[in-house]
Amino acid sequence: MTNSPYVADVTQSDFDTLVLNRSHTTPVLVDFWASWCAPCKMLMPVLARLADQYQGRFYLAKVNTDVERELATRYGIRSLPTVKLFKDGAVVDEFMGVQPEPVIREIIDRHAPRPSDTLLHEARQALESNQTRQAADILKRALDMDPENDHVKMELAGLLLAEGRVEDGERMLDSLSRAAKSAPEAAAMLARLEIAHIAAGSPAPDELARIIAAKPEASEARYQLSAHKVLQGDYESALALLLEIVRHDRRFRDDAARKTMLTIFTLLGGKGDLVKRYRNQLSMALN
């Protein structure tokens, strides 16, 4: 039994308390091991060291499968060591065998709270109140505190793109970890980047609106204005502008209006009433 406050041997009788219940407030990494398992003995000190280094951001529970056979059966343990990460009462991640420490850290970091997460929450609250400058300042402090926090990077990238600082936003997205770049949030942010490139260097929205009023068939102005609308969060107006181009100028920029509508659908997560309505209207316009 270790003396660390972040590590404990867990049995059938206290598993629900020390793992399932605790996981609602702190991620719990459960190491299923056995005394005869040599790889288990290699992995144990690595996990214990990480538990101490993370200082309570996750809790390590050790289950001796020779003794706790019911727990091993309950969680389908077929090879050792097997490590499962519990959060909110359920398994959310796992690995088998001895893994390099960076791989284990990456798994933990996906789920463990970070010191900068409090600032990230404050920044999001500021954004909800339209306090953009305050949100940006908070995010910069969070990034200084925790340069590897991908959630902070994505939030800050979104602000940079909204301000028209496309190159800065692109650099921020390029700095994301490999795992973060494959996440759905990153796909949406990359879609926003694509649209920000359209708005970059174009006339101001008011000027584009005047051009369209004077010349309704001005596809370029509609296309650029749709990008500004996206960056302002007015997705419906953006989709309406692009749909008009699809209906009357399908060849514009090699079908760019249709392609940009698909990009906006990605930005919106591919679901929701707005996406459904405009998917249907786009389908009708193409047929």
Catalytic residues: 37, 40
SS (H, E, C) the chain: CCCCCCEEECCCCCHHHHHHHHHHCCCEEEEEECCCCHHHHHHHHHHHHHHHHHCCCCEEEEEECCCCHHHHHHCCCCCCCEEEEEECCEEEEEEECCCCHHHHHHHHHHHCCCCCHHHHHHHHHHHHCCCHHHHHHHHHHHHHHCCCCHHHHHHHHHHHHHCCCHHHHHHHHHCCCHHHHCCHHHHHHHHHHHHHHHHCCCCCHHHHHHHHHHCCCCHHHHHHHHHHHHHCCCHHHHHHHHHHHHHHCCCCCCCHHHHHHHHHHHHCCCCCHHHHHHHHHHHHHHC
